Amino acid sequence: MNDTLVSASLMFLVPATLLFGAHGVAQGRGMKLLICLLGAGVAGLWLYRVWFWTGLTLVDRHTALGLAGLYGAAWLVTLLAQLRSLVGPGGDGRRY
């Protein structure tokens, strides 16, 4: 695998992983939502960077896009769950 691609992927993988941990320990709904937005942003930047990278082999591109896409999908699901909890029953974020 391209060494530059590995380094660039690590540049995005480390913050995305740390944000998952931060989301797990965050107490307030607002903080969780903010962390979800940051995670989705990091994953989006990662996808953008790999998508427009020139000179990658097809295997390297698909591997990096798969990894970035996996994180992007996980953050999207997490973000949608946070948004759903904010507009759930009662509208104040409480379930019941």
Q: Give 16-48 pLDDT, tens digit per residue.
A: 888 888 988 988 888 989 999 999 999 999 999
Q: Return the half-sphere exposure (C-beta side, CA atoms, 13 A cut-off) of residue 23.
A: 21
The mean predicted confidence, pLDDT, of the chain is 85
In this prediction, what percent of the chain has a pLDDT beyond 90? 27
Interatomic CA distance for residues 72 and 62, integer angstroms:
15
User: pTM for the whole thing?
Assistant: 0.78
| pLDDT value of residue 96 | 44
Q: Give CA separation, 46 vs 33, 54, 93, in Å.
A: 20, 14, 31
Domains of the chain by residue range: 30-96
